[in-house]
């Protein structure tokens, strides 16, 4: 083990997102995996024995012999500073609070704490300043070293990465989004093959509510000890489609100030956020890739843009009801989940919160 690296753990390490964490952290320049947890079903087993590995390239060899522990503070090695949570939302709420109270920094994918007023809902490209809620959270909850930071729902993440430059340059008045979401977004084993093959399922439980509220917190402004929600409304219709990875979203936006199509395109392509300015290891550069081709982006061709961390936009054109419409595509388990949480942790490290 390289003692200069920060030791991290993965909660829910055997699941779809947990495996992405394992894969993306395997050669990370700043972080090193020292703990893996899962449910009672897996506790006490070697990672290689408990985990049905789903990703290309095989399980990182250094993790194969690690033994899965319970998801409890006392079971996790005390030299671990940071925990990446890929727990089911139903379990994450109380467990993440216990772990933060015990002194761990928790970067969570789960929905449980995303809308807590004192918990940052973070995309470093979008609202890096919202980490100022961390000391507020610690003071309010009596936590000394520990805290919780969350990343958004996978559909929200790429939507907001594309909206941010437009919000900054022209102001957003209204957003309509129809998503076509990949099967891997439902975890493993997720949706049954009998349900999804040859099909579109026009319902994903709880998803539309998340996609309608999370962008307003992300694009809201820090006002004292809280976030004032952005004042535009979002209407979302979320669908599950027979794609393995990569969420596609058809988006229409109404702007507060008039803008020509070339100005909108320039705002998207020129956008650089805090991860690009700081040169964070997982930051895509550029953050947004604007396609000129009539039939792009597509999940199979474009989901790994920027190592799965970039947001692809295409088919930018005027909208007869709103001002502009376009397609957004991004990887749901990389930038939309594990990669997004790792980028959050890189920002926290750069800002001094992991000392």
Ligand X SMILES: NC(=O)c1ccc[n+]([C@@H]2O[C@H](COP(=O)([O-])OP(=O)(O)OC[C@H]3O[C@@H](n4cnc5c(N)ncnc54)[C@H](OP(=O)(O)O)[C@@H]3O)[C@@H](O)[C@H]2O)c1
Closest CA to 338 of 39, 87, 148: 87
Binding residues among 225-284 for ligand X as defined by CB under 6 A: none
The region that residue 171 occupies, defined by phi over 0 for left and psi between -120 and 50 for alpha, beta otherwise, is left
What residues pair up with 6 in beta bridges, in sequence order? 31
Give the binding range for ligand X (CB under 6 A) out of 83-91, 114-122, 278-286, 321-329. Answer: 83-91
Give, in degrees to the nearest 5, the angle at Cα 293 between 289 and 296: 65
333: contact with ligand X by CB under 6 A: yes
Contacts of 218 (CB under 8 A, 6+ apart): 121, 123, 126, 127, 152, 156, 160, 230
**Residue nearer to ligand X on the CB measure, 277 or 300:** 300
Selected from 297, 308, 336, 339, the binder of ligand X by CB under 6 A is 336
Min CB(295)–ligand X separation in Å: 25
CB 154 within 8 A of CB 16: no
* 154 belongs to the catalytic site: yes
CB of 171 to ligand X, least distance (A): 28
Rounded CA-CA distance 144/167 in Å is 36
Q: CA of 250: how far to CAs of 91, 132, 189, in Å?
A: 32, 33, 27
The first and second tokens of residue 335, run together, are 């930038």
Stretch that binds ligand X, among 230-238, 305-313, 315-323, 328-336 (CB under 6 A): 328-336
| 50/13 Cα distance (integer angstroms) | 10
Least distance to ligand X from the beta carbon of 270, Å?
28
Closest of 154, 281, 262 to residue 210, by C-alpha: 154
Q: Does 91 bind ligand X (CB under 6 A)?
A: yes
If one asks whether residue 87 binds ligand X (CB under 6 A), the answer comes out as yes
Closest residue to ligand X, based on beta-carbon distance:
15
Among 185, 215, 297, 314, binds ligand X (CB under 6 A): 185
Say whether residue 137 binds ligand X (CB under 6 A): no
33 touches ligand X (CB under 6 A): no
Contacting ligand X (CB under 6 A), which of 69, 71, 131, 137? Answer: 71
Catalytic residues: 154, 247
- Residues at the interface with ligand X (CB under 6 A): 12-18, 38-39, 41-42, 71, 86-89, 91-92, 109-111, 154, 184-185, 187-188, 332-333, 336-337
């Amino acid at each position: 083990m390289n003692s200069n690296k920060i030791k991290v753990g993965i909660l829910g390490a055997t699941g779809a997102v947990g495996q992405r964490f394992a894969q993306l952290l395997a050669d990370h320049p700043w972080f090193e995996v020292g703990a893996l947890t899962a449910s009672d079903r897996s506790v006490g087993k070697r990672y290689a024995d408990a985990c049905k590995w789903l990703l290309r390239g095989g399980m990182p060899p250094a993790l194969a012999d690690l033994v899965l522990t319970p998801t409890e503070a006392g079971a996790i090695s005390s030299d671990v500073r940071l925990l990446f949570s890929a727990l089911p939302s139903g379990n994450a709420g109380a467990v993440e609070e216990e772990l933060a109270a015990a002194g761990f920094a928790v970067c969570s994918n789960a929905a449980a704490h995303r809308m807590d007023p004192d918990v940052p809902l973070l995309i470093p490209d979008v609202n890096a300043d919202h980490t100022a809620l961390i000391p507020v959270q610690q003071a309010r909850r009596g936590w000394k070293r520990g805290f919780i930071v969350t990343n958004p729902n996978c559909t929200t993440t790429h939507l907001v990465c594309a909206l941010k430059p437009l919000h900054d340059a022209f102001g957003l008045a209204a957003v309509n989004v129809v998503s076509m979401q990949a099967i891997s977004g439902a975890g493993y084993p997720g949706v049954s093959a009998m349900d999804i093959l040859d099909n579109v399922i026009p319902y994903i439980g709880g998803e539309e509510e998340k996609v309608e509220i999370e962008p307003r917190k992300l694009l809201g402004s820090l006002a004292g000890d809280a976030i004032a929600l952005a004042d535009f409304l979002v209407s979302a219709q979320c669908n599950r489609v027979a794609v393995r990875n990569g969420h596609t979203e058809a988006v229409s936006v109404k702007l507060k100030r008039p803008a020509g199509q070339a100005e909108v395109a320039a705002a998207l392509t020129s956008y650089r956020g805090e991860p690009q300015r700081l040169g964070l290891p997982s930051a895509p550069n550029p953050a947004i890739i604007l396609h000129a081709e009539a039939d792009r982006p597509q999940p199979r061709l474009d989901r790994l843009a920027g190592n799965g961390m970039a947001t692809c936009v295409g088919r930018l054109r005027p909208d007869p009801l709103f001002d502009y419409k376009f397609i957004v595509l991004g990887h749901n388990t990389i930038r939309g989940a594990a990669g997004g949480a790792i980028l959050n942790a890189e920002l926290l490290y750069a800002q001094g919160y992991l000392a």
